[in-house]
Structure 1
């Protein structure tokens, strides 16, 4: 390579669903304003992403809730994780927050994509092998069911006459 020239790796195209975009954009910008350095990567990915309808590439596009199988460092061990919102990351070691550098890197990719990212100050690569959508019967623990009424924390009907 000639002096003064820098190799530029082509980045894969990324896409975000229309329903995820508003929350992702707000999350990334709020985290960046609080000084979260990983949020800068997420902001950059959001800015370069194509916004697509929710049903487009539903089974091949990495989005919140997707289970992804990937490798790092050109063939290191394979790992399968679920991409989640930051507040859901603590519910399992197989969950990766979209606000982490790896999570922001995976967001919007498709199977077969290869993407560079920095972790611990070093350049790494992630190769996305497989994407699966979350099963609809999977419910995050500690979440109030949609049918629960706000303000009531138990089934006690209250005082009754004896």
Structure 2
């Protein structure tokens, strides 16, 4: 199996995971989701590598696959940790306390970092999709600002190695 095929399979896994998360989200919480302003463009750009892709050197293709797999693992592990703590939320107002153990010990937002790793790796196959990464970073920054406001109301803060990305 080629690296491009594995990359495409991992992308489909990302989309399935996002669909499952949205399907499990209560309707009232879905209304508070902060989406990128250019969401239709982001979706179109992300699907480009399924149809068009650069012919990358073998080592770079497998590096992209490795980053995608790492990102997907990080995203799912972060979601599972929050679900176990009954603190998972797709909006800025989580129902429980701040997580500072597991992946959250070193990262402020491992789910966001995982998604960005996957999207950045995918953009190696089709550089035009890097626009989608930039749009998603902008959306995550807005989301983190809202999360930080909520944490301030609770009287807590949390910062990690990735915090510089959200300022």
TM-score, structure 2 as length reference: 0.35
Higher RCO (CA < 8 A, seq sep 6+) = 2
TM-score, structure 1 as length reference: 0.35
Larger fraction in helix? 2
